[in-house]
Amino acid sequence: MSGLWAIFAYAALSVGLCSIAAAQAVVIGAKEFTEQLLVAEMTAQLLQASGLSPHKGTGFATTGVRTLQERGIVDVYWEYTGTSLITFNHVTEKLSADEAYERVRTLDAERGLIWLAPSKVDNTYALAMRGADAARKGINSISDLATKVRAGDVHILASTVEFVTRADGLKPLEQAYGFQFGWGKVVTMDPAAIYAVLHRSSELDVGVVFATDGRISAFNLTVLRDDRGFFPSYILAPVVRKTTLERFPQIKAPLEKLSGQLNNETMAALNAAVDLQGRRVEEVALDFLRSRALLSEP
């Protein structure tokens, strides 16, 4: 998020807080992709049922929402362990999923941020190709892709803007695998557009995708194996400001119950309901919470 947008978000959320100051206001943040919008909406519905007044701020980049949380503007948002580990805490050693969670839980606690119980969602970054193209070219792993590129085969990458500059993103990935897509061979776009381009066009060859996106299987995409283990675990968990948790301890139980209901298969189905079936985020979130008895029927 740019400085201008950060200022705008700060002002907008501050106004929202003032307008509902008399209520028990809790600000929920989210990044701008379906999975984040879904868990933010489920969080809002659960907190409202707990007697609180949730106020959502969505559409943030990773650093933007984290900055707002550290400044006390955002109370809670769902983050991924790999992101906190590398982007915020600059830890690059290889850790297991459990070790990564414990490390970020400890490090972020020093900043007044509390990681609640994690889900079983591991939404790692991945590179994907059209299944037919990957089979025809004999590309099953990122190493296979790197070998082809080094041999002179041109492969154009569709990437999110954020992935290009992340500490766990494009440049470190290329360094780890010893290749470069090359000048003009990386095209940035919104996450949703990447799936559409891979599905409908042959102009771009490889895309940066999220492991829990339902469009991967629906569009017959092949995820390239990360055979060098570059990407860390990206376990999804709710992160709450310590001061917020002290004011509203009733937040903890419903959010941890929700965590316990989420895994990759479930999250992919929820994402697909929005991205492929065209259902509203609010409707999908409500139906899921009711189906798991996390919210009662009216």
Domain ranges within the chain, ordered by starting residue = 3-122+234-291, 125-223
pLDDT computed for residue 154 by the predictor:
94
Under the banding of pLDDT at 50, 70 and 90, the label for residue 60 is confident
| Contact indicator for 221, 63 with CB cutoff of 8 Å | no
What pLDDT does residue 5 have? 43
Q: 19 pLDDT exceeds 90?
A: no
CATH superfamily, region 125-223: Osmoprotection protein (prox); domain 2 (3.40.190.120)
List beta partners, residue 130. Answer: 221
Strand (E) or helix (H) holding 113: strand 113-115
Q: What is the pLDDT of residue 42?
A: 98
Q: What is the pLDDT of residue 13?
A: 54
Mean pLDDT of 270-285: 97
User: Strand pairing of 25-31 and 53-60?
Assistant: parallel
- 48-51, long-range: CB < 8 A, 24+ apart: 49/254, 49/295, 50/250, 50/251, 50/254, 51/24, 51/250
Whether pLDDT at 8 is above 60: no
Average pLDDT of span 267-286: 97
pLDDT band per the 50, 70, 90 thresholds, residue 57? confident
Residue 60's SS3 state is: strand
CA atoms within 13 Å, Cβ hemisphere of 46? 26
Is pTM, for the whole model, over 0.75?
Answer: yes
Under a CB-based contact definition with an 8 Å cutoff, are residues 128 and 225 in contact? no
CATH topology of domain 3-122+234-291: D-Maltodextrin-Binding Protein; domain 2 (3.40.190)
* Residue-level pLDDT at 12: 52
Could you read off the pLDDT of 142-193 as tens digits, one per residue? 999 999 999 999 999 999 999 999 989 999 999 999 999 999 999 999 988 9
Give per-residue pLDDT as tens, 96-133: 999 999 999 999 999 999 999 999 999 999 999 999 99
Please return the burial class of 228, using the count of CB atoms within 10 Å of its CB with bins 0-12, 13-18 and 19+: middle
Question: Given this model, what pLDDT does residue 297 score?
Answer: 73
C-alpha 109/C-alpha 34 separation (Å) is 28
Per the model's pLDDT, the better-predicted residue between 94 and 254 turns out to be: 254
CA distance 43 to 66: 17
Sign of the C-alpha dihedral, residues 54, 297, 254, 284?
A: negative
